[in-house]
């Protein structure tokens, strides 16, 4: 990992100007990608926090979550292939966690494919623990989902 590059990485709220690149990233990473329009709707959603990681004006990746009643749900997290292994996803996830902590959140939860070893290593490395499994949650290809959760009550 090139930590020098990660040093100048900025994690900031998602902006309208990011949407085109993020829709491309979604299509690159997921079998049921969010459209540019769906992403744009989150810009004005008071119960959502979507963050972009960028360096020198170039979008590297993004992550977004919804929340209600102190419960935070991570919708998506993705980094362009050419910018992986530079700490971008960890930086985005830590910023999302800090947002949830500042809101006095109880936990941050997410679903992940059991085959997604990179994402699972990222999440468990930050303290997420498995809390369950949803049968046949994903399609194309069909796969269960692991439920992972980060307790926020002991971290503030």
Binding site for ligand COA (CB under 6 A): 1, 29, 77-79, 84-90, 112, 116-119, 121-122, 125
State in angstroms the smallest separation of the CB of 25 from ligand COA.
Answer: 8
Looking at the Cβ atoms of 104 and 134, the one nearer to ligand COA is 134
Looking at the Cβ atoms of 51 and 88, the one nearer to ligand COA is 88
Looking at the Cβ atoms of 11 and 78, the one nearer to ligand COA is 78
State in angstroms the smallest separation of the CB of 156 from ligand COA.
Answer: 23
* End-to-end CA, the chain: 29
Q: Which residues pair with 61 in a beta bridge?
A: 53, 79
3-state secondary structure 98-135: HHHHHCCCCEEEEEECCCCHHHHHHHHHCCCEEEEEEE
| Joined tokens for residue 81 | 């292939």
Which among 52, 55, 56 has a CA at the least distance from the CA of 18? 52
State in angstroms the smallest separation of the CB of 68 from ligand COA.
Answer: 20
């Amino acid at each position: 990992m090139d930590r020098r590059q990660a040093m100048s990485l900025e994690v900031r709220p998602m902006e309208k100007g990011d949407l085109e690149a993020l829709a491309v990233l979604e299509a690159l990473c997921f079998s049921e990608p969010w459209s540019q329009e769906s992403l744009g709707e989150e810009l004005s959603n008071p119960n959502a926090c979507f963050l972009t990681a960028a360096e020198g004006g170039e979008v590297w990746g993004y992550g977004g979550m919804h929340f209600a009643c102190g419960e935070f749900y991570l919708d998506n997290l993705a980094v362009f292939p050419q910018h992986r292994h530079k700490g971008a996803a960890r930086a985005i996830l830590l910023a999302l966690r800090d947002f949830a902590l500042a809101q006095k959140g109880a936990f941050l939860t997410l679903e992940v494919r059991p085959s997604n070893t990179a994402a699972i290593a990222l999440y468990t490395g930050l303290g997420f623990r498995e809390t369950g499994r949803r049968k046949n949650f994903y399609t194309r290809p069909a796969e269960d989902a692991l439920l992972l959760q980060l307790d926020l009550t002991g971290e503030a």
